[in-house]
Amino acid sequence: MALPEPCLVIDGSARVGVRVGVISSSQWSGQAIAVDGALESTFACARAALAEAGLQLSDIKSFAVCIGPGSVLGIRIAALAARTWATLVPRPIYVWESLAVLAATAARSGHLPPYAIALESRLKRWNCLCVDAEGKPGTPSEMEADQLRAKDLPIVTTSPEAAAVFPLCTVIESPWAQLPDLFSRSPLLRLEPKPEALNPAADFATWGGERHRAS
């Protein structure tokens, strides 16, 4: 998909940290990464990424937001930021899913299907996406480690913690660096004027705006 550029890309889906970047000429022209929470970091990262790219927010032609699965609070803050900016000056908002991007990255890296993409979720559960023998991804779901192991599939993840739970898993680098090229070559983006967090679990409580706390 040809993104209207410059495009401001926001990913608040990680359990820890926020990434914001500017895509121009199908490559990163500015980036900012923070290890703090999304509430503290999203707007500061946006300012830093724009400054590195030598741009103002008014120069941005589109937004791209990760809708997860992942940190619901981080995703909602990223989505709220993009929706607010697109309301002030109408610009298209695109969304992508973290597991689908990781599956595309795994395929590029030469991983032969079938396999399962897994990212750590909450309460020792895992967000998963199973890719069948033909390379077709299924529907994201959240499951216990034992449920994922029972599928008897090779596991690909970016979570270093996964090795302790799935000894034979393959840990690969975050696909962030490849996003500009992935977005230009793969059908990973879709237009979504009002992005919301993708929730593969069946038992999340209604989000009330309060900061998540570890139990």
Span 60-79, average pLDDT: 95
How far apart, in whole angstroms, are the C-alpha atoms of residue 16 and residue 7?
23
At 136 the pLDDT is 95
How far apart, in Å, are the Cα atoms of 30 and each of 46, 48, 52, 87, 206?
9, 8, 5, 23, 35
Backbone dihedral region for residue 66 (phi beyond 0: left; psi -120 to 50: alpha; all else: beta): beta
At 186 the pLDDT is 83
For the chain, the domains span: 7-97+175-191, 98-171
- Model confidence at 204: pLDDT above 50: no
What average pLDDT does the chain have?
A: 91
Span 86-109, average pLDDT: 96
Strands 170-171, 62-66: pairing kind = unpaired
**Domain formed by 98-171, architecture:** 2-Layer Sandwich (3.30)
The 10s digit of each residue's pLDDT in 20-43 is 999 999 999 999 999 988 888 999
At 1 the pLDDT is 66
How far apart, in whole angstroms, are the C-alpha atoms of residue 38 and residue 126?
21
The 10s digit of each residue's pLDDT in 149-159 is 999 999 999 99
C-beta neighbour count of 75 within 10 angstroms: 28
**Least confident residue range of 88-97, 103-112, 150-159, 204-213:** 204-213
- Model confidence at 7: pLDDT above 90: yes
Taking domain 7-97+175-191, whether its CATH number is 3.30.420.40 is answered by yes
End-to-end CA distance of the chain: 41
> Where does residue 145 rank: exposed (0-12), middle (13-18), buried (19+ CB within 10 A)?
middle
At 212 the pLDDT is 45
